[in-house]
Amino acid sequence: MIVALIALPTLMGGVYSAVSITRKRKWPRAAATIVSSENVGERTRTFRGLPVVEKQCDIVYSYSVKGVECRSNTFIHTQLHSSDIWFTEKFAKDVIINYPVGKQIRISYDPDDPRRSFIKFYEQGAPIFLLVGGVLILAVVFYVKALAQ
């Protein structure tokens, strides 16, 4: 019974994440202009015993939705978070080169709150993991319960 109490929130978390992702994929798009593009942070971490330099990019863009001027710096939006994204040094350099000040781009924005927007969406495997994990846990619970009878 306790395992079922773990399975249900896991399953519901997967359903919530999947619905949220589907909704954000359908957000309307708008034209935007890059107003600032720079590396704002640097850190070194260890990966497989080797130092890896990572950079944090800040790409600020402005756009207008229904006559309301908006400004944002959300480059990549994931279902888990939208900020504090760190890139490898090479990728960060490419981001800055590909998003220079003045460049016209297309962004996605929240129709309920146009101030919320992003340039790119990155889909992680969390919803599938949660859905499958919840179903598997429930299946084990029902199997064990059937064996006990």
In whole numbers, what is the pLDDT of the chain averaged over residues? 76
Q: Closest by alpha carbon to 82, among 119, 48, 136?
A: 119
Q: State the DSSP H helix or E strand holding residue 140, giving kind and residue range, or none if neither.
A: helix 126-148
Ordered by start, the domain boundaries in the chain are: 2-148
| pLDDT tens-place string over residues 37-84 | 988 888 888 888 988 888 888 889 999 998 999 999 887 655 444 455
Return the pLDDT at 16: 57
CA distance 106 to 30: 6
Return the pLDDT at 79: 46
The pLDDT of 101-116, averaged and rounded, is 92
The pLDDT of 139-148, averaged and rounded, is 72
Confirm if 109 and 70 have CB atoms less than 8 A apart: yes
| pLDDT tens-place string over residues 85-108 | 677 888 888 888 989 999 999 998
Question: Looking at the whole model, is its pTM more than 0.75?
Answer: no
CA of residue 121 relative to chain centroid, distance:
6
CA distance 81 to 74: 10
Residue 35 clears pLDDT 70, i.e. is over it: yes
Residue 6 clears pLDDT 50, i.e. is over it: yes
Return the pLDDT at 17: 56
CA distance 56 to 25: 25
